Structure 1
Amino acid sequence: MVAATGVGAGDLVATLIAGSRFGYALLWAAVLGAVLKIALAEGVGRWVLSSGRTIFDGWSSLPGATLMGGRLNWAGVYFGLYVVVWGFVYGAAAMTATALPLAALVPLLDLKTWGILSGLAGLGMVWFGNYRLFETVMTALVGVMFVTVVGLAIIVTPDLPRLLTGMWPTLPPGSVFYTLGLMGGVGGTITMAAYGYWLNAKGWRGPAWIGVMRIDNRIAYGVTGLFVVAMLIVGAELLHAGGIALAGGERGLLDLDRVLRDRFGQLVSVMFLIGFWATSFTSLLGVWQGVSLMFADFTAHLAGRSADEGARGDRSPAFRAYVLWLTLPPMLLLFMDRPFGLIVAYGVLGSLFMPFLAGTLLWLLNSSRVPPEWRSGWVSNLLLGGAAVLFAILAGRELVGLFSG
């Protein structure tokens, strides 16, 4: 669930562009990025299962000035600001990304209408369904993603010897920030923190489940890495070889669709658009469900209720309120240019989340809050520390771009 939610249409475009510009030279960065995401998600899962506490409960236990009778510290203030601003902007972005392939497949409705219908579909599914339904739908959509994305890589016929050379770390001229983005940008942000809530919803509780969680996590991000490699192959073989450039953002996938239609025909084009839709809708649905659980936990802490109540709060008023927040107000952004100040706030808070997650996991997993046998070893600390540094550099780049341009 967490890996499928984290891989969105924008991630696929970023990987395609890296492949179209540098061929297979950055394959090693994609693989390393998957390893870093395994370490981050494993840290979230190990914290929840070994401590019996949610990730927000862990953040609430960090030292620092507190508000509201000690129930909200600096980490809670940051998360509260982040989840409100991020949710508003992300809601519009997710609905637009899901609408793009639908509008291309069925042009009877315009982009805005498909976006609204997509948001309402996600709302209805998490409002009236339960975790079992959510997991079943997500699993089916991951199957569609796998067939279309990996199938597309097979169709374009990768050059395997040249592909293998990409595992040797190199940095072609002008590739530094593409490399960092490839390592850090694919596989989720706040949804990685939602992993612990889905473990609870699945019924995996206590240290006995850590071994199963690790297998689950490695398979999930192994598949994520496979998606990234597949799109890198498409970028290298179809775009790099042909000197074709894509537009930035999710609309770049519509450019790819036109290339596929010209090269392979209508059937491949339609299958690709279905995979594009599945990729976008899994991200939308995962956020509507997972981040709403986190918000329910956040409000449970503010109200002084048990963290466990928040972790299982998919029927709570706070859960439903946040799902509505993700769906209804962002529809206004579909009809107007997004306000500059809101975009700056979204960019600032969003760029800081991954270094925040990596840094706080380092803190929590090396503390007395975790039983000694489940604290981080040197490999986990090395990977989490590397992730913290990488995401801090990416955050700095994002902030410079926001305030200089």
Structure 2
Amino acid sequence: MTTVSPLRTQSRPAPSGRAQLRWYGPGLLWMVSSVGSGSVLFTPRVGARYGYELMWLALIVTGLMWIMIREAGRYSVATGRTLLDGFRDVPGPTGWAVWVIFAPQVVAGVVTIAGIAALVGSALMVALPGGQAIYASVVILGSGALVLAGRYRGVERVTTVMGLILVGAAITAAASVVSTDVVDGLVPTVPDDLDPYFVLPWIGFILAGAVGIMWFSYWVAARGFGGPTGGQAGGSGDRNASDSDGGDRAHRIQRVRSWTTLMSRTAAVGVVGGGLVIVSFLVLGAELLAPEGRVPDGIDVARDLTALLAELWGTFGEILLLVCVVVALWGTVFANQDGWARTYADATGLLAGGEQARSGSGEQRRAGRDGSGGWFGRLVANRRRLYLAYVAGAMTIAPLGLFLLVRDPVDILSVGGIIAAAHTPVVVGLTLYVNRRLPAEVRPSLASQVGLGSAGVFFGLFALVYLLSLIGVTIGA
């Protein structure tokens, strides 16, 4: 018999009317975070090589992403627990589902931060003296230091504003050059020279990819959708809560449903905004780069990207795009170093000792104080210390080392995109499982479950196509 996840024990009333506007933050933050490598780097490359032939694919992925992040947020709203916490309860060997999320994302985090920093470095060397290595190293070490110091919030606000400016500039520029050929892109076609290795990283990174699904659930929980989450009242304590509270249950169900509706709208705001960015950069690549046969590549990729607006608005356009790309992507490095470190710390706590390790309570906490748990026990018992250790090691030193070895942002981010595309069906499958265990009154509808399952199959097929192409190349060799 399948165990049903308990409904959250505490839930505040959902806002109504204009007050709902203040709760769109997670969607906007998710949208800005998605203006990263998938939009700024890979989308113009796809447009430059294939024109509008894959426009339909971008639209499908955008629609599926709304379903995926909405369902990821549903679990936190309904239970008062993080999605990763829910994965720990999946039947099988202890913690296996947390491991399959944790291990690939460690690799994805390192390569993504290294790749974005390499892209920022290649952009700065266009306008300033000095080499890419110097600027990329400054980006990684500087942002890492600010995250460790806990003083990056003000910088993050600036990068969010610049990210929104970049979104507006891209949409405006695309609207000024788009042709009627864009309509042809709405009809599903497969290019004769389709290169899975070229396309799969784009698919994986569109709208933040697998990690974006996880992060949306964290941001929904952190914002307080539905009520307190985590170590707060009604949060992790909901794991062992009873649902036999009579009439109060009906009120909580009604509130959870209202919060879920608002969360779904928040997800839609982020996806629609991010989708417009994807389409805009695809238009710019198809209209401005494709006619010249110019596909942005190598460490000079930023030079080709800044030329997109330079051809429209001259020097002003070039400077605008350059500044926005540098600041917005540097902000993405901040967000990634912080977000991934939090995810890693959460996963480590779940794997090492469950809620006691995450909260630093009970035996874990005592072991940390008296030293009986060793250095690892003391590290896990102190959640803040564990987070900082991941920021310094996995999110700063490791990406810097990878960048110094490879340098090419396209090569580095291609690996991250492929991991994201292959990992997405895993995240989707686990999310579908834990959501099906929600109480029947707040469980996703059959249509939502079918939609989420279809998203997993869709990304799984792309990963399979890529795997088969690798096998084919190996055999042909």
**TM-score of Structure 1 vs Structure 2, range by shorter chain:** 0.7 to 0.9
The aligned residue for residue 222 of structure 1 is 272
State the Cα distance separating 1:309 from its structure 2 match.
4.3
The aligned residue for residue 17 of structure 1 is 45
Match of 1:169 among 188, 197, 204: 188
Distance 1:43 1:92, change over 3 A: same
The aligned residue for residue 36 of structure 1 is 64
Counterpart amino acid of residue 187 in structure 1: L
State the Cα distance separating 1:365 from its structure 2 match.
1.3
Match of 2:423 among 321, 337, 353: 353
Distance 1:39 1:247 in 2: 31
Contact kept? 1:13, 1:248, Cα under 8 Å: no
Summarize the alignment of residues 287-306 of structure 1 with structure 2, pairs less than 5 Å apart. 287-301=336-350, 302-305=352-355
The aligned residue for residue 158 of structure 1 is 178
The aligned residue for residue 435 of structure 2 is 365
State the Cα deviation string for residues 122-167 of structure 1 (Å, max 9, x = none): 2244333479657634531332221332232134x212x4333433
Distance 1:34 1:350, change over 3 A: closer
What secondary structure sits across from 2:355 in the alignment?
Answer: coil
Whose radius of gyration is greater, 1 or 2? 2
Distance 1:92 1:20, change over 3 A: closer
State the Cα deviation string for residues 13-49 of structure 1 (Å, max 9, x = none): 3322332334334322222211111111101110111
Contact kept? 1:27, 1:229, Cα under 8 Å: yes
Bigger drift between 348-357 and 322-331 goes to: 348-357
Bigger drift between 126-135 and 355-364 goes to: 126-135
Counterpart amino acid of residue 187 in structure 2: W
The number of residue pairs the alignment matches comes to 388
The aligned residue for residue 113 of structure 2 is 91
Summarize the alignment of residues 5-404 of structure 1 with structure 2, pairs less than 5 Å apart. 5-66=33-94, 72=95, 74-107=96-129, 109-129=130-150, 133=154, 136-155=157-176, 157-159=177-179, 161-175=180-194, 177=196, 184-188=204-208, 189-206=210-227, 207=256, 208-240=258-290, 242-248=291-297, 251-258=300-307, 260-261=309-310, 264-301=313-350, 302-305=352-355, 309=359, 316-324=384-392, 325-337=394-406, 350-367=420-437, 370-400=438-468, 404=473
Distance 1:13 1:122 in 2: 21
Counterpart amino acid of residue 352 in structure 1: A
State the Cα distance separating 1:345 from its structure 2 match.
9.2
Distance 1:193 1:307 in 2: 21
State the Cα distance separating 1:359 from its structure 2 match.
0.9
State the Cα deviation string for residues 174-225 of structure 1 (Å, max 9, x = none): 4585777665541112132011222232233442532222121101110111
The aligned residue for residue 239 of structure 2 is none
Contact kept? 1:8, 1:280, Cα under 8 Å: yes
Contact kept? 1:180, 1:390, Cα under 8 Å: no
Distance 1:355 1:322, change over 3 A: same
Distance 2:166 2:383 in 1: 29
Distance 1:86 1:37, change over 3 A: same
Contact kept? 1:297, 1:307, Cα under 8 Å: no
Counterpart amino acid of residue 55 in structure 1: L
Bigger drift between 209-218 and 254-263 goes to: 254-263
Contact kept? 1:26, 1:179, Cα under 8 Å: no
Distance 1:164 1:345 in 2: 32
Counterpart amino acid of residue 329 in structure 1: A
The aligned residue for residue 69 of structure 1 is none
Bigger drift between 93-102 and 259-268 goes to: 259-268
Distance 2:137 2:38 in 1: 19
Contact kept? 2:54, 2:185, Cα under 8 Å: yes
Bigger drift between 17-26 and 122-131 goes to: 122-131
Bigger drift between 76-85 and 180-189 goes to: 180-189
What secondary structure sits across from 1:245 in the alignment?
Answer: coil
What secondary structure sits across from 1:4 in the alignment?
Answer: helix
Bigger drift between 300-309 and 384-393 goes to: 300-309
Contact kept? 1:95, 1:115, Cα under 8 Å: yes
Distance 1:357 1:249 in 2: 31
Bigger drift between 114-123 and 162-171 goes to: 162-171
Distance 1:53 1:250, change over 3 A: farther
What secondary structure sits across from 1:373 in the alignment?
Answer: coil
Distance 2:285 2:343 in 1: 36
Distance 1:79 1:399 in 2: 20
Distance 1:62 1:217, change over 3 A: same
